[in-house]
Structure 1
């Protein structure tokens, strides 16, 4: 009997298996391929927590895999944090299938250890969970979400006591405790009624929302007088069936942005995300309804958040009257320039801008123009949050953080990317430029003319299941064994291997430098002409991603260079 068959047999013979999971297993009994995929390995837990398809099995999201993860977290907290039982754990959840149930399961396992759970009484954005951890002073936080994944997914994200996503070292320690529980089906729990009677389950109401909104108002660069003025800006907003509706509207109202048209069909939470192919604002189809409504009301700006409201998409009208969706790199660059141009110069000396290694170098150019230091982190906002935590002790000042995948943070009262903050800043910037007769696209052109035509791109290759994982590994192994020396006619100047932690300078001596960042399965090529390419397997999806960046003196030259890099690297990825 193979290992997966043993795991399957344990589940199907368990007398108290949850009825819906039992029925799903019965329906799968003749599908060997599906059963093997559900049981051939345990769902991976990493620095992003765990994320997977809902269903029965150890490689699926269900009450038992969630309980096992919480059990490991509870044991980790008791060893590594002080006063855990009273401080407790904050828990939030989004609009997905089983999200509320998984949040309650989290409280039930924590309660078995006498650890209090503070659970939001309704669905809430991820950045509110981050804020709640800090506001309530809990020992950790848990967010039930699969972000913008398809409807059949859900996930479990863990936050440390600073409100940031757990670091690799913290994740490794938690994994050790998770693995101590050999049978996910027998994790101890306490039922809801008993938890409430013993005050181990506490419901979070409006207090945290109100405290967050008070902080949210402080990120504005408008004067107190300007904040009181009714704004001449027509906004269209879509929550894409997620969690942001109330907080975005309340945040905008605080600054007197009253002309907000909501895409009503997408305002209600819907775990099927029935009006979009994907609830991801990075994908243009998610803006179809917002664009239609924008044309109807002659909107100046369209804003859309993903289901757990940690990513924001923005679209603005171009010179032809059509709406152009900004990339994450473009919007982040605009926000950075706006913040720095509206900051006291004396405060910028010690300021730090944070971005990831695959985020536009225009950010560095803008920061440098204002005398602000740029610090690069690995991909993932957890690393930006970790850096902000370090600033609390070093005395450096966090000014802005962003990543190309539509993640931004302005005020560090949250320690994860925050689409609510970004939505307010998008509208404030649009209002600021509109008063000068310009759009955000016009403002972007000003940045290009000043700093160069920085353009970026991304290719993704989806490789599902066990075979897909092997293919992704083969691609990464190949680029390490036989490193590329030129890409699309550009010589490679440096090879940065973040798994070995080494940067190789391509010269006659091939000098090697140490990379002072955590180890991660990423290879980046620095090329001639301010170009670069980076290969990285996704940490949350069955994909390998290739990022590109170029900078030429004209848009046309940059677009040509980018297309050449893209076609070359897609061939590299697909040859496996």
Structure 2
């Protein structure tokens, strides 16, 4: 019942923000909701700190933001005076309280004598990543909950390289965050004083222009674009988020002028009122874009999530209907196009993907003589490897992606970048149109060359304390009683990333997995098939990933259903 102590501390705090005071009073008669708001502090997951808005230590509010910022400020102080002088750059998305939260970060930084560069309006997450590198700051923060529902917000931390903080750095920051005794008593400096002392600098469009200039560099076939741009019809939706200006200007500067914006979704809207979920992974998010596509007879539909780090694409099939490509399919198309057209390919080139991303990417890369590196889920691990290779020269980064619609073409940003991906998707469509083909035709060629790889994802949402316990029980059960078969496919090996061990079932031999420890279990099946269980780091979900390969589409579809049925029936 320790949560009641924290609740009482908030209740008795005389200077509590008036809005939070009112919300807290409204919760006072609901002990279940009170406990969920106070039973534990928000923690860092794969995407930083993220949670529902509201009062409490387990909610996003100005005090939990201050606590996170205080931990980051202490971490920067520990790096020395030079880091403090470099400062921090902060961006925000279109969500409720995002502008206010970004200013709170500056107020905390100012109390430590750390300068903050703050954008005057919303910016995409990849622009924040770029800004850290462009300005040479010691860290970056973006206030966003990505594609979560409207009641969420978040706090993402970026290191001096512009990547999301990897585990070692995150642990150091979390130690400082956890050392904060009382989030209600954190010292801040008000905006007027920050400006007067030069500790707050409002950002103009100079960084935007630099980013857009770099965006031109990812083009591989400018002549193809020039020949097709006037005929290629594009429909774009930013899903009420941050990408409107950058995608529109980026396409325009490449020469794509036949771009129709989904007007109902063009303006920022923290309620995301035209969609059930502002996530291009969810096909319903393309409902309006498809209507526009049919009206405009568009070749390609592109949609970005609210903070513009994920891109979804829909293309028209032979039946005239639009279908949303999966993240694995679009990633494979991009990878194949980049490796086929980037000449000469470096001898030490490398493609990076995550452990739950399709094995088709590995097959495509191998076809062009390029190595593949697997990382844990979370683009921070891809960014970490890019920096490592930059320092050692061991490999040259060519492309990085994950199945959840995150792609990075050029490393001038160090996080997944939907603006870059939108440019590449448009170029892809133009290239294949110049050959008289659609992206579906191009994808079919890849399947015929490498085999029919199909994937699926099933998520179970389990909120609250009981939900967390259920997810822990599921993971424990699959560890203690691992799968031996999934349909007709035998399990060949079990990978437990919590112990960093790969166990082969035939002889019980064990190998070490050279990746950071993580609460993930993966089952390697016969014939390049697999399934994987992973609790989400940013949402109250457990995710089940499935991947199969067959000689034909029909065989792959049958295998996918078999594997899914075997795993999900056991869960039920």
Deviation, 1:229, is 7.3
Give 1:380's aligned residue: 378
1:339-354 pair list within 5 angstroms: 339-345=338-344, 347-354=345-352
Q: Distance in 1 between matches of 2:144 and 2:570?
A: 33
Give 1:264's aligned residue: 263
Give 1:441's aligned residue: 440
- Per-residue deviation, residues 413-455 of structure 1 (Å, max 9, x unmatched): 0000000000010010000000111000000000000000000
TM-score normalised by length of structure 2 = 0.98
Q: Distance in 2 between matches of 1:384 and 1:264?
A: 34
Q: Distance in 2 between matches of 1:224 and 1:213?
A: 20
Q: Is the 8 A contact 2:225 2:430 kept in 1?
A: no
Figure out how many residues of one structure are paired with residues of the other and give that number.
Answer: 571
- Per-residue deviation, residues 168-211 of structure 1 (Å, max 9, x unmatched): 11111111111111100000000000001111011111100000
1:298-337 pair list within 5 angstroms: 298-337=297-336
Tell me, what secondary structure is at the counterpart of 1:150?
coil
Deviation, 1:77, is 1.0
Q: Distance in 2 between matches of 1:155 and 1:112?
A: 22
Q: Is the 8 A contact 1:348 1:371 kept in 2?
A: no
Deviation, 1:480, is 1.1
Give 1:275's aligned residue: 274
1:490-509 pair list within 5 angstroms: 490-508=489-507
1:108-127 pair list within 5 angstroms: 108-127=107-126
Q: Distance in 1 between matches of 2:336 and 2:187?
A: 52
- Per-residue deviation, residues 117-152 of structure 1 (Å, max 9, x unmatched): 001111000000000000000000001000000000
Deviation, 1:225, is 8.6
- Per-residue deviation, residues 27-61 of structure 1 (Å, max 9, x unmatched): 11111111111011111224521100000000000
Give 1:67's aligned residue: 66
Segments of structure 2 that go 5 or more residues without pairing to the other structure are: none
1:226-245 pair list within 5 angstroms: 227=226, 230-245=229-244
1:561 to 554, 559, 562: 559
Q: Is the 8 A contact 1:229 1:256 kept in 2?
A: no
TM-score normalised by length of structure 1 = 0.98
Tell me, what secondary structure is at the counterpart of 1:83?
helix
Q: Distance in 1 between matches of 2:519 and 2:67?
A: 27
Give 1:215's aligned residue: 214
The alignment status of 1:530 with 2:547, answered yes or no, reads no
Q: Distance in 1 between matches of 2:367 and 2:124?
A: 34
- Per-residue deviation, residues 75-97 of structure 1 (Å, max 9, x unmatched): 01111355122210010000000
The alignment's C-alpha RMSD in Å is 1.1
Q: Distance in 1 between matches of 2:555 and 2:205?
A: 52
Q: Is the 8 A contact 1:318 1:324 kept in 2?
A: yes
Give 1:14's aligned residue: 13
- Per-residue deviation, residues 80-116 of structure 1 (Å, max 9, x unmatched): 3551222100100000000000000000000000000
The alignment status of 1:137 with 2:149, answered yes or no, reads no
Alpha carbons of 1:229 and 1:315: their partners in 2 closer, same or farther (altered >3 Å)?
closer
Q: Is the 8 A contact 2:228 2:434 kept in 1?
A: no
Q: Distance in 1 between matches of 2:276 and 2:224?
A: 43
Alpha carbons of 1:183 and 1:23: their partners in 2 closer, same or farther (altered >3 Å)?
same
The alignment status of 1:478 with 2:477, answered yes or no, reads yes
Alpha carbons of 1:216 and 1:81: their partners in 2 closer, same or farther (altered >3 Å)?
farther
Q: Is the 8 A contact 2:228 2:433 kept in 1?
A: no
Q: Distance in 1 between matches of 2:132 and 2:413?
A: 9
